Structure 1
């Protein structure tokens, strides 16, 4: 079949594209050409896995199809020629759901749902090749899929259930506790169910029922004629054999890689060359030859194919290490697509890049076959290729590996995290009977350690320090780590890793209610897991434009000139818009402070910029790629001004965003209290910021209507707030603006102010052009523009008695607010209000300083100041414990403020189970016994240390003030179906599902007869933003009020009709009985004996966390977690446990791997890409993860069916326990090594920081 383009199949349908743009990605094509929007875009860098699809190809040698997961955001469409493309829509639908999707949906394995299609596709690729996978294979398959909501446990549990190793349920609970199959439905202390569900009766995975590989692809006969593809900027030639490649190679840029580096940087406004030639379909570049002496791997093959070939062809001791190394080096999606050639060239090109494949090829003594510009083939050693920079003049054809290699292979990779991270240092050694090869990688061509190779036999005799001297390497620290690990390896060559057991337990008290209290799967799970749930960027609008954002590149400057001429010359660009185009107020946040704290953030920079990433203007264009490219062509000239990027320097300069906030007692009273104490201790704490990392970036779509009407589809946590922001910006009354939010792909506080600014920008352009306008941030732009959690520097002086009881404390805290106010005054206020945490500290004073810096304007993030207070107090408690010679847990316990007592500002503590949670957790976790075991472990372990710590939380709800109310609208249709709308937005916390259950319980109607529609200001208006863990309370009370009013009208008619609902509704309609109503919900505090500023109840909890650190590498892992929470009578235990687990992992990330830093000179965020900012991965989830809901019912009428809120409290508890546990590990090492200086709270405890604290200065 002659073909001038590419031929492939998508979900069973053949596609023939005659010409495709070489720069067009598979994701863009699937979403915008085929309308398959289940493929999500979370980062567009190949990092998050949300865009994962499966590519199938026919393997003639095996006579079967082979499937691989890839990142559709990076795969160029021309790469899928003769390929079977499967998206989440092709796997299953709600009408015919696939077993993978079914188990994840009903197994509560999603929350916001944005990442879920990617997990499905990663698992689907594995199952297609391995119908009965091992747990280890499942872990490997999803290791590069990120989730910010769930904490991964339910995802892992759902997928593990397919493995025979799990027995279809809990993984056999090999770490203790026994299998769930062997347990009764309730435990010994009060009728708790131990599992949310069992997968035993779920449909099995059946490979015979899968969509077959398309016969059309098997019989397709490709033409030998080279194909030319012409795009807007690039012409690409696809030769079919090496002779064609030689003929056409001249004057073309050779594309021998998967184009990953180019695609990640799109996004380049100008390309390096207008003509490309690709090795992708060159026959000779795709060949594998395995013979007696060697293995030859073609240059166009992907990394995984190369690794699989070597693993199966070389000796077992070498092959298994290659397989392990590749898993640490790369994600499956990247390894399945990126060529090994690209990785080798990338590493050889840069002296700053540490290449894992380059060092592997060196240690294996690989030879490369090269093609020069004259068409001649030559063979060189890998060292020569890199050292002589032959990549500049030659094309790699293949790599040759000797099969005579024997011995053992050892590889070590060091980065910020232990796997799938950019490499800072690597080490590889091949130790055989006759020859040894040892290399170390610091950048560019790895260095061979010939001096060390002659000392191999001395590894058992010489000390590591002596061996380090033989290397003559300047990077002593990393060389020492490598040699220590290498020495361990040499002494345990045959050691095999044991598969760890899994112990996931979720205890809750089952309810017999029809709806409220049952662990029902979220109603929208099936929609999300099949790709049918739409987020803002999935909504399709006719004749729309897309925005590209022009951002400041300097931290502080006057804008002297903006030149948009080059951008406007691009065909398809509709215009540039900036501050002069704002019809109303450019600082709308200052005018609507009744719904939020006054915010002086500008929509567009006005005459000056105050931060790198501040939005100067936007380009509107016909597609998003063009808009972003054009935005980079806008030239901005500046007159730079002095800047304060460094937080500590801004503190010294007394640069403040607002007034200093004082809480508590007069300064003289606190001073007197401290002077009268037996002892005064003091310290300083430094707590870093945190990125929200919602998987769905900021997204808005504004559609202009008639008159001044605007329909604003926005991923916002506050529809009414966004409505007022747009109204103020546009100088249009709010009643002409409808803001709609169906769901968010995660929020965590980051989609209140941030979301509203993007909506305002879209509204300006939509009104000007009279065209629908999308504002969809790339991950890089989202990181650059939006605020984070506030970095905090704090000081404390605490007075104690000889037992460690606190008698008074004075806090001073400086919060990095960034360049504008945003939520900084509010976060400072909450820190001050809640700083007493769970403790009675006597006389307290808090001074809060919101600091202005020339960096991102920081904002709300889950916990809203409370996590920072928690971490400060963890340091205080550890400091006291050390001084009085008691355990930190003892000090915490004796300082608890108890139920019936008062918070430090005078509020009474109502409905509180802190002590019950603490004591239960201490016993349940076997805390004291495990402390003894850890002590013995540390005594026997030099480099690896363990620690265990407990922490607790008290969180008063609902909040007092204007945010403490909800709104609901309820209407009943004539067929009896019920429609519900609430003022809260669904962002993964399960709010909508809880409200369905509340409504169902109150109306005594089945859940499937009730629907909850999008949160929209034309249905419910003046609703507070969603956040603060209280929305099930406030909106639940509103739903109950609606149901009560409706039923007061209907009940007499229902009784008359013997309970027949549909008949009663028709009769009510005929009698003019209103079938709809809108009600507010709020707590009448006086009615329940609660003060106006007091909390009607407290959500409380305690957790015990056991951690392990490697003091050499700084890496950590969570060994076991026990969490006990009192959430009253949970409205939905599955949702609440999901929130607890997700919050725990987010809190773990806050104090370990998540780091926010800025370049002091340029002002740029260092973590300015998805790959540079590290959130926890599935591999970080503890294998022993236990959660228990106590279900204490001390409810008053202020609670919805006796329930309590849950979203934020577990995060505070998590970050406190994880941090203290790691500090216990560090303290043990320091004490053993004679270092006794106290280390106050430093967060995050990154690998680098742990190494620093565990080193002898």
Structure 2
């Protein structure tokens, strides 16, 4: 297919849905739910094999798929001819509302295409990038595990026809050669250089141009932070940027190589080398394991993780601790090598490179025999979550008589400052000391100096984060001591062991097992086949011919009077149709059904951030979003109450109803004075919104009445 006229910044999902391929669903738009998963396949000329991967189409730039075969849920089967994966999920009750189901089907399909000998355990972990709010996952996993190589139905020669079947790859794509691309759109340009020289020339010409690989950060910035990137450059056609090769003292990883390819390569090296030599590889593989779901790891790259300079990065502390080196290049400054240290991150989200410089590769050194490296991470959930604190440690020892002396050490942390932080006072203290309890017990004192956190530090949980910083070191010290054969207390000898998630299992029993009527029978619901094939139609799948799009202009202040609203800039934008506010509503502007006084559009006062002030109407959704931000609102800010604690202090309570009480037994006010001990305390629970999916929407067609 030859496609023309697609604007830079367009995602693969936007393109697919514009062409009627609505099986891939639009949901989170940040690569978090997997409902948009599609399969990309390409021919690897060097290895002479097909390479398959599942990706999140909602963040994948459309122009990246040049030379790939894109397989959507519609392409593997339909209700008349189901793919085995679709059939198993339907028969095992793996869909309810069905909105996430096409993405789950394609996540499993792409994984099995890439890993035809996957075990049940492998398959279960491959589903980490998909969310489902209805089923509880058990029926989905029951269906998916039918395709594990242990299953009788998928044994031997039947394996390919079972779960790994994929549409035929177009023969002409085997001859595809990447060519330089330049696409100039209305607001941005897209470049695909095919040589490092070309990329450096582009970076020299456009120093502020953004290099995009997986777009796992850029797409989110453009969507949710409203960033504009006039120049986008994609380096995936440059061999040096994606190559991974073993050298004498370590492994050179192209900055644009995907995390999945890095892990696969490292695991192969770990199999053929002694364990002591690959401790650095182990540390990085272990940390990437918790990084994200497969769809993200299939496109995210190690260079992007460095360049985003996140203070809670999972990977940067590991690279710093192991002593990794960067190769950067530019026309203006030439090629140079840098060791990764905290100086590379001078301030929040900033990188100490010149705007013209490009990260070309990262060198990961092998470890020596008495060198120990380990990485740690604590988050709210183990998989696919940002870190509260991450850390990586390295110590290099030498044997002197009966002691092991520390000749080098590096302790690196994420989540303990606005940048990735090294505990340098601690490292300096350790140098030349023997590895024993006396030395190790003093480390916490130095860590407290290295990692101070103010009581009001961004991210909160100050005491917890400080505790994590020391407990991670304690785990590491136990790991090293055990590796050296030194005794450790029995109660903590397993402290450093990362628990493996065992294969899930569950049982659902239906009574009676064989019912002559639908009541009591185990029957797939009537929509299941359409849901697993992407043929079920949801609101956003319906054609929107001659339809305009609206986007709210919302308050940015918590409590304020509206002084002035000026939509002129927005109305001058091509494609913007109208701005509607309170003064444009005929009749009542009030929408409160129970408690009167709540307005649809604020007429003079806003009562919270996000309160609707008006509505921009435009010819496209994206344009409406952008135009809404162009509406200028002038406020007179008034005092506000943002927390329960503030409300209690200021006696700000709802007076319209009696507070709900749960009473049982005697009156506590009468009982407490008689108690020998009365324990008092308080607990704070933050708000938790569920994960919104598209079935929350409705479609309204105005009629004559």
- TM-score normalized with structure 2 length: 0.83
Residue 48 of structure 2, aligned match among 63, 66, 71: 63
The offset of 1:688, in angstroms, is 4.4
Output the CA distance in 2 between the equivalents of 1:456 and 1:82.
57
The offset of 1:133, in angstroms, is 1.7
**Correspondences of 1:308-319 after superposition (within 5 Å):** 308-313=264-269, 315=273, 316=275, 317-318=278-279, 319=281
Structure 2 residue 512 is matched with structure 1 residue 510: yes
Structure 2 residue 374 is matched with structure 1 residue 410: yes
Determine the structure 2 residue equivalent to 1:914.
none
Structure 2 residue 93 is matched with structure 1 residue 131: no
Residue 256 of structure 1, aligned match among 199, 205, 211: 211
Output the CA distance in 2 between the equivalents of 1:27 and 1:665.
50
Determine the structure 1 residue equivalent to 2:390.
426
**Correspondences of 1:640-789 after superposition (within 5 Å):** 640-661=637-658, 674=670, 687-696=685-694, 698-705=696-703, 709=704, 736=705
SS in 1 for 2:135: coil
Residue 562 of structure 1, aligned match among 557, 565, 572: 565
* C-alpha distance after superposition, 1:601-650 (max 9, x if no partner): 32222211111111111111121111111111111111112212212332
**Correspondences of 1:479-558 after superposition (within 5 Å):** 479-493=469-483, 500-510=502-512, 512-558=515-561
Determine the structure 1 residue equivalent to 2:403.
none
Residue segments in structure 2 that go unaligned for 5+ positions in a row: 399-406, 453-465, 484-495
**Correspondences of 1:275-354 after superposition (within 5 Å):** 275-313=231-269, 315=273, 316=275, 317-318=278-279, 319-347=281-309, 353-354=311-312
The offset of 1:228, in angstroms, is 1.2
- Check conservation: 1:302, 1:336, Cα contact below 8 A: yes
Determine the structure 1 residue equivalent to 2:455.
none
Residue 622 of structure 1, aligned match among 611, 619, 623: 619
Residue 451 of structure 1, aligned match among 396, 411, 428: 428
- Check conservation: 1:574, 1:620, Cα contact below 8 A: yes
Output the CA distance in 1 between the equivalents of 2:233 and 2:498.
45
Cα distance change, pair 679–519 in 1 and its aligned pair in 2 (3 A) = farther
Output the CA distance in 2 between the equivalents of 1:166 and 1:320.
31
Structure 2 residue 223 is matched with structure 1 residue 267: yes
Determine the structure 2 residue equivalent to 1:119.
104
Output the CA distance in 2 between the equivalents of 1:665 and 1:386.
53
Cα distance change, pair 93–600 in 1 and its aligned pair in 2 (3 A) = farther
Cα distance change, pair 92–438 in 1 and its aligned pair in 2 (3 A) = farther
* C-alpha distance after superposition, 1:753-782 (max 9, x if no partner): xxxxxxxxxxxxxxxxxxxxxxxxxxxxxx
Output the CA distance in 2 between the equivalents of 1:658 and 1:104.
51
Determine the structure 2 residue equivalent to 1:398.
361
Structure 2 residue 31 is matched with structure 1 residue 29: no
* C-alpha distance after superposition, 1:816-855 (max 9, x if no partner): xxxxxxxxxxxxxxxxxxxxxxxxxxxxxxxxxxxxxxxx
Structure 2 residue 444 is matched with structure 1 residue 468: yes
Alignment RMSD = 3.4
The offset of 1:506, in angstroms, is 2.5
Output the CA distance in 2 between the equivalents of 1:381 and 1:373.
21
**Correspondences of 1:100-115 after superposition (within 5 Å):** 100-115=85-100
Task: Choose 1 or 2 for highest CA Rg.
Answer: 1
Determine the structure 2 residue equivalent to 1:389.
352
The offset of 1:205, in angstroms, is 5.3
Structure 2 residue 189 is matched with structure 1 residue 235: yes
* C-alpha distance after superposition, 1:134-175 (max 9, x if no partner): 233223311121222222222222222322457779xxxxxx
Output the CA distance in 1 between the equivalents of 2:14 and 2:663.
61
Determine the structure 2 residue equivalent to 1:575.
578
The offset of 1:26, in angstroms, is 0.8
Output the CA distance in 2 between the equivalents of 1:355 and 1:325.
10
Instruction: Single out whichever of 103-112 and 433-442 deviates more from structure 2.
Output: 433-442
**Correspondences of 1:1069-1080 after superposition (within 5 Å):** none
- Check conservation: 1:26, 1:77, Cα contact below 8 A: yes
Output the CA distance in 1 between the equivalents of 2:69 and 2:147.
25
Structure 2 residue 436 is matched with structure 1 residue 438: no
- Check conservation: 1:136, 1:499, Cα contact below 8 A: no
Output the CA distance in 2 between the equivalents of 1:83 and 1:645.
50
Cα distance change, pair 148–502 in 1 and its aligned pair in 2 (3 A) = closer
Determine the structure 2 residue equivalent to 1:835.
none
SS in 2 for 1:574: strand
The offset of 1:679, in angstroms, is 5.7
Cα distance change, pair 269–328 in 1 and its aligned pair in 2 (3 A) = closer
The offset of 1:94, in angstroms, is 1.4
The offset of 1:687, in angstroms, is 4.9
- Check conservation: 2:538, 2:695, Cα contact below 8 A: no
Tell me the matched-pair count: 647
The offset of 1:575, in angstroms, is 1.4
**Correspondences of 1:895-910 after superposition (within 5 Å):** none
The offset of 1:74, in angstroms, is 0.9
* C-alpha distance after superposition, 1:988-1017 (max 9, x if no partner): xxxxxxxxxxxxxxxxxxxxxxxxxxxxxx
* C-alpha distance after superposition, 1:173-209 (max 9, x if no partner): xxxxxxxxxxxxxxxxxxxxxxxxxx9xx99853674
The offset of 1:16, in angstroms, is 1.4
Cα distance change, pair 96–47 in 1 and its aligned pair in 2 (3 A) = same
Determine the structure 1 residue equivalent to 2:322.
364
Cα distance change, pair 327–491 in 1 and its aligned pair in 2 (3 A) = same
Structure 2 residue 53 is matched with structure 1 residue 89: no
The offset of 1:248, in angstroms, is 3.3
- Check conservation: 1:254, 1:278, Cα contact below 8 A: no
SS in 2 for 1:124: helix
- Check conservation: 2:23, 2:72, Cα contact below 8 A: yes
Output the CA distance in 2 between the equivalents of 1:607 and 1:613.
15
- Check conservation: 2:45, 2:174, Cα contact below 8 A: no
Output the CA distance in 2 between the equivalents of 1:420 and 1:645.
30
Output the CA distance in 2 between the equivalents of 1:627 and 1:63.
47
- Check conservation: 1:438, 1:453, Cα contact below 8 A: no
Output the CA distance in 2 between the equivalents of 1:666 and 1:444.
51
- Check conservation: 1:468, 1:480, Cα contact below 8 A: yes
SS in 1 for 2:223: coil
* C-alpha distance after superposition, 1:329-367 (max 9, x if no partner): 2332222112221210112xx6xx222221222233222
Cα distance change, pair 687–599 in 1 and its aligned pair in 2 (3 A) = farther
SS in 2 for 1:139: helix
Cα distance change, pair 500–307 in 1 and its aligned pair in 2 (3 A) = closer
Cα distance change, pair 437–231 in 1 and its aligned pair in 2 (3 A) = farther
Output the CA distance in 2 between the equivalents of 1:60 and 1:409.
36
- Check conservation: 1:362, 1:446, Cα contact below 8 A: no
Cα distance change, pair 463–613 in 1 and its aligned pair in 2 (3 A) = farther
SS in 2 for 1:505: coil
- TM-score normalized with structure 1 length: 0.48
* C-alpha distance after superposition, 1:1171-1215 (max 9, x if no partner): xxxxxxxxxxxxxxxxxxxxxxxxxxxxxxxxxxxxxxxxxxxxx
* C-alpha distance after superposition, 1:83-115 (max 9, x if no partner): 121212123221221222222111112221111
Determine the structure 1 residue equivalent to 2:126.
141
Determine the structure 1 residue equivalent to 2:2.
16
- Check conservation: 1:359, 1:427, Cα contact below 8 A: yes
Cα distance change, pair 273–509 in 1 and its aligned pair in 2 (3 A) = closer
- Check conservation: 2:430, 2:439, Cα contact below 8 A: no
* C-alpha distance after superposition, 1:516-536 (max 9, x if no partner): 121211111121122111211
* C-alpha distance after superposition, 1:882-913 (max 9, x if no partner): xxxxxxxxxxxxxxxxxxxxxxxxxxxxxxxx
